Structure 1
């Protein structure tokens, strides 16, 4: 064969191969399938990585009531400062007295370092509050925002004076407006004059919190949560629900009532990771269960509290029976669950409903779900869980109960967990899977084989952890998107899914990847955040059957790394198709929309990147974000056809009005 004929033959062969590689996908828009639950895509909060104090919770002062085991942790003291423990709040008794330093040229006072600094923003006002009294009847303090490391003439860049009158404890407030943005400011308090002053619960909040609540959330972080349009918010954890021992477990009753009288709790993440150790990591409980319920309401998510089942963390205690509450002594733990439901839903004549109303929310929170236990497994868990199920069913039969299948995505303990939860007839089973790339790419048909008659699935904690590269890079986020087609395709069995963890301070993290990262004045949303948002904002109302050669599109053999699912949004009549190309080659696709005819325009949302290791950062927060576009759909013989070519390693959504 001569060279010209050989060239032509190769070109023809390449063209035929290219044509053969077009992937024909069929979507049946005529028959709406399983309902996609409103709770399908949500958020999971755990106080790890400084997610609460130093993160979502708006408080800027660390150790505001001097209750840390080292009472002045977070503070510098100078002059005549005395620590006392007969303060006005029973569960937070410590306070300080600032006295005369002994000479007019000396100073007495305090400096608070905040959480990796105190972040303030130019033009914003900050609310300084303190409970105080003046032993001699009157006293004055100066409150300053300072830059201790400045080369400028003055350290302080904003100052306010506060007069304290009377010998009885009262709450005082003054506002300070910052003339600059500073990620590393400090709060300094000077005693002004000779008269002593007693100070307790020293607090500094942005006035501009989310929804402008006085004990509120940091606005930009909370807004990012709202912008994801979550259907459910799971709180407060996670392993903090258990504690490494039961003394440190999260106790919801300690987190309600006046914020000044909520006791300190040792955060089990303080000491869990020796390689990233933070000795000042405690829980002020300022962000408590009332605030969690309120936040759920504010962002439009169903609240999903998780309570302790009478067990400490099994990872840290294994088969030590003494670490857990004896089965015949579970009543207080069970009562905590029943009381919580009353706190959330009871009318104002009930004991706990009245407490909710006293905190400013007379109307019920309309709680529908409660989870008992976190990542427990084996008979230790099963025998205890049964008692909770029986008690909750007896008093609150409409509440949906969520059990757990343990920390594994498969295996003996996982199977035993599911069997036990089926026997106990819980409503949903909480599955957790932090797994490498290979797991996500080979689990695209995970839920097809599940028993449709048993409990529903709550994928309560999951993330793709890149092998040897455990951070929020683009590649792993794309594999999460691919796996999520299986959640959507099996919406009859999967009712909830929440990525984890949700939040991380860039200077205080212990676990990654995470959904949202921040310092004291800025944040960025990871690519995984945008994947979750793309699903949550395009979840539709019902599943549509979508196949390739009669098979689900889940990275199967012959599908060239393609994953896909489809839903319809009935109110708007919009068909929503999600396609993920996990291969390193572009993939031509032809999507037949059966039940739709004629030419149409498809709106598109595309997430793509050529650098698999790339990630968003504080300096480049929008390096990788979804891009909106459109394309014309062709009129086929019997249906409308989307013809497209999907770039390598790309997630694309098509939206077509039916």
Structure 2
């Protein structure tokens, strides 16, 4: 079971005079909140990565300085990304946001280490206490943090930031962290990265992944295609990969320290990049049943596919979702055959086809054209246990087949 979510950037605006229906009046802009809520994230990792440690330890994020009346918070200089933050979006607000989204909070806490320096071991107890106060952990003096947290809070699960996907870890943990930023072709080819990962021991939390630099531009279709292939691989390995989230989540167009991010905004507008819209294809994977799927094709390795059974939380109806990613420049004819349904039949009334593509792989969305590269849905007229379909070049396509009866393998 693969759980999807988001890692936050450090630019999520907190506007104290905004009254939001969806976010329970907690001051988040409705348009930005809805962009996250529409993805149905199961968890939220915050407040970021380098932001937590700081380049210098004196500029590290300290959670106790981010709570209390907003106007009384001291704020701090985020020297990792070179801007001042008033910490109006603090520890408590992130917890509220997680609660409003119905997402599990995953809080990244400082452990006495910055990007360039380390706190002396004699003072590490201060950070251990802060970790206990916040129910958190980090990597420096890892066992002290792990043992203390498990002693006082045995129900809390701990995530190590050491990669255990290739070699087994030499320390106890419940999950381990995995990051991957690369070009589109390389990320697409990482579909098999976890195929041979040990199935015993801690699970995987892919807490940061994205296509970036030249392939990504400001948020391209090409980036989304590379990411789609990688996510297909995570879905296939959901017995060991428990959680995954794209990073970063937000970027303000007036301060692009990193590009791309999933959601772009200014003082009054917002739009999602193709990478954001790709999340919609995997939103139903949380809690779904991975089905046995075999892809028989002679069209090289540019085609990837997966199949799940998922249940609509609103009406309880069951769907088979077949996702196909075509990373290549040539359209492909495919035959999709579904076996093992018994007397269960496919209902044509709500079977749909959804496709994410564009005329050029480097096409991007913008404030002028926010819907240039977004998923397009249409009725699946030839829905059935055997279908012949044409998969467009440079595309992600989802075939959702509604079943008349129960979901296979789901309770």
* Equivalent residues in 2 for 1:304-315, closer than 5 Å: 304-313=106-115
8 Å CA contact retained: 2:293, 2:307: yes
Check if 1:531 corresponds to 2:278.
Answer: yes
Secondary structure of 1:596 counterpart: coil
8 Å CA contact retained: 2:184, 2:225: no
Equivalent position to 1:372, from 138, 141, 145: 138
Secondary structure of 1:400 counterpart: coil
8 Å CA contact retained: 2:251, 2:261: yes
| Structure 2 equivalent of residue 620 of structure 1 | 369
CA distance in 1, matches of 2:105, 2:75: 24
> 1:41/1:233 Cα in 2 relative to 1: closer, same or farther (>3 Å)?
same
8 Å CA contact retained: 1:308, 1:333: yes
* Equivalent residues in 2 for 1:421-432, closer than 5 Å: 422-432=169-179
| Structure 2 equivalent of residue 590 of structure 1 | 335
* Root-mean-square deviation over aligned CA pairs: 2.2
Between structures 1 and 2, the one with greater strand share: 1
Shift, 1:565, TM fit:
1.1
| Structure 1 equivalent of residue 242 of structure 2 | 495
Structure label with greater radius of gyration: 1
CA distance in 1, matches of 2:236, 2:153: 32
| Structure 2 equivalent of residue 57 of structure 1 | 14
8 Å CA contact retained: 2:112, 2:118: yes
8 Å CA contact retained: 1:209, 1:216: no
Secondary structure of 1:303 counterpart: strand
Shift, 1:647, TM fit:
0.7
8 Å CA contact retained: 2:188, 2:228: no
| Structure 2 equivalent of residue 388 of structure 1 | 145
> 1:593/1:241 Cα in 2 relative to 1: closer, same or farther (>3 Å)?
same
Structure 1 unaligned spans of 5+: 1-35, 60-204, 272-280, 318-322, 342-369, 374-380, 406-413
Secondary structure of 1:298 counterpart: helix
After TM superposition, the structure 1 stretch with the greater mean CA deviation from structure 2, 598-607 or 459-468, is: 598-607
Q: Give the number of aligned pairs.
A: 395
Shift, 1:469, TM fit:
5.6
CA distance in 2, matches of 1:466, 1:633: 40
The Cα offsets for residues 84-117 of structure 1, whole Å up to 9 and x where unpaired, read as xxxxxxxxxxxxxxxxxxxxxxxxxxxxxxxxxx
Using the size of structure 2 for normalisation, the TM-score is 0.90
> 1:528/1:587 Cα in 2 relative to 1: closer, same or farther (>3 Å)?
same
The Cα offsets for residues 559-617 of structure 1, whole Å up to 9 and x where unpaired, read as 44111111112553321111111111111111211112656533221111121111110
Shift, 1:643, TM fit:
1.8
Using the size of structure 1 for normalisation, the TM-score is 0.57
| Structure 1 equivalent of residue 6 of structure 2 | 43
8 Å CA contact retained: 1:437, 1:466: no
Structure 2 unaligned spans of 5+: 404-411
> 1:548/1:371 Cα in 2 relative to 1: closer, same or farther (>3 Å)?
farther
Check if 1:563 corresponds to 2:304.
Answer: yes
| Structure 2 equivalent of residue 445 of structure 1 | 192
> 1:582/1:563 Cα in 2 relative to 1: closer, same or farther (>3 Å)?
same
8 Å CA contact retained: 2:321, 2:398: yes
Check if 1:286 corresponds to 2:88.
Answer: yes
Shift, 1:264, TM fit:
1.5
Secondary structure of 2:119 counterpart: coil
The Cα offsets for residues 198-238 of structure 1, whole Å up to 9 and x where unpaired, read as xxxxxxx334586363x611221112111111111000011
> 1:539/1:585 Cα in 2 relative to 1: closer, same or farther (>3 Å)?
farther
> 1:469/1:488 Cα in 2 relative to 1: closer, same or farther (>3 Å)?
closer
The Cα offsets for residues 307-328 of structure 1, whole Å up to 9 and x where unpaired, read as 1122111xxx2xxxxx212334
| Structure 1 equivalent of residue 269 of structure 2 | 522
Secondary structure of 1:449 counterpart: coil
The Cα offsets for residues 231-253 of structure 1, whole Å up to 9 and x where unpaired, read as 11000011111111111111111
> 1:231/1:450 Cα in 2 relative to 1: closer, same or farther (>3 Å)?
same
